[in-house]
Structure 1
C-alpha cells in the first residue's frame, strides 16, 4: 500500500511538473504530454536498467499512465489567468515528485535485496532522472546539475531507507514530508552547494 501511494503521488507531481515546463516553453499539446510522461516515468526507466529490471516492466503500469494523462490534461485545460498563478507551484510539485520517487526508488532496491549503495543510486535516479530528461528536452540546464541543492535530498532518502532508519509506513510518510520541506526550504532560501568555475568574470560567450 505504501509503495502504491508513493508511486501515485510521484507520478502525478512529476507529470504536472513536466506539463508546466512544457507550457512555459510554449510547447503544443503533444509537447505537454511528452514532457509530462518522460518526467514521470524517465527516472524509473533508468533505475530499472541499472537494477537489472526489464524495461518492459514500464508497460505494466497502465493505471499510472492513465493517471498521468488525466493530470496533464487537467493542467492543460486550466484557464490562462489561473495558470499564471499555477506556475508558482511548479517547484512545489517538483519537490513532491522528488521526495515520493526517491523513497519509491530506494524501496525498490531494498525489496530486491540490493546493498545500501544501490538504494542510494536508485533513489537518486528515480527522483532526478525524469527531471533531467525533461530539462534537456526543454533546452534548460538540468536542475540537478546546478549548484542548487536537489539530489542531496534524494541521497538522504536512500540512506534513511537503506539503513532501515525509515522502515514502517509511518516513518516513510514522515520522511516524505521532511524531504519535501527541505527541498522547499532549499529553493526558497537559495541554499547552494560549493561550486567552482574556470570562467573569467569578464569572459562572455
Structure 2
C-alpha cells in the first residue's frame, strides 16, 4: 500500500479511537485529564504494544508527534461538539469503536508484513493493533474488556486479517487488499452490533 495513504488511514483511525475513548470518559464523568488519558490509550495503546513486540522502536508516536496532536485536537473538538455524552444514542460509541477497529487491524497487518514475512503473525499483530488499546481503555474504565465478552469482536479482527493476508497471497495489490480486510472487519462488527450476535459463553456448572 502507498505509504502516504497508509499514514492517512493511521491518523484517521487514531482520531476515531480517540473519539471512542472521549465518549466513554464522558459517560463515566471523568475530568479533562482522564478524558485525554482514556483517549490516548485507546488510540495508540495497541499500536505501541505491536511496535514493541515487532522491535519497531522508537515507537511510532515518539518518532511522529502528529499522532499526539491528533489525539489532543480530537479530545478538544469532541468535548466542544458533544456537550452531553449521556444523551447520545446508544450506538454511537460502538459504531465509532467498530470503524477504528477495522482501520487499525488493516494497519497492523500492513506494518507487520513490512517488518516480517509470516502472515499468521501479521494477522495476530492486526488483532493486537485493533484490540489492544480498547482492552487498556476498558480496564482503566473498570469494565470487562469488550474482546473478552461474548460479543463478536476479536473474531471480526481475525476474519478481516485473514481476508487481508489471503488477498495479498493471491496477488491482489496491497491497497485493495487493505480495503477488503477493513470492509470485512467492519461489516462483521457492525452486524454483531445491529443484531446482537455473540459467541457462546463458557460457564462451569455446579
- TM-score normalized by the length of structure 1: 0.89
Structure 2, unmatched stretches of 5+, are none
Structure 2 partner of 1:111: 114
Say whether 1:191 aligns with 2:197.
yes
1:119-148 deviations in Å (ceiling 9; x for gaps): 011001100000000000000000000111
1:86-115 deviations in Å (ceiling 9; x for gaps): 663111110011000000000011111330
The match for 1:162 among 159, 162, 165 is: 165
- 1:1-205 to structure 2, matched below 5 A, reads 1-81=4-84, 84-85=87-88, 88-163=91-166, 164=168, 167-198=173-204
**Aligned equivalents of 1:72 and 1:167: distance in 2?**
35
Asked whether the 8 Å contact 1:9–1:96 carries over to 2, the reply is no
**Aligned equivalents of 1:157 and 1:45: distance in 2?**
21
> 164-173 vs 95-104, which deviates more?
164-173
Structure 1, unmatched stretches of 5+, are 201-205
> 48-57 vs 38-47, which deviates more?
48-57
RMSD: 1.9
**Aligned equivalents of 1:82 and 1:147: distance in 2?**
26
How many residues are treated as equivalent by the alignment? 200
**Aligned equivalents of 1:31 and 1:82: distance in 2?**
15
> 73-82 vs 188-197, which deviates more?
73-82
- TM-score normalized by the length of structure 2: 0.89
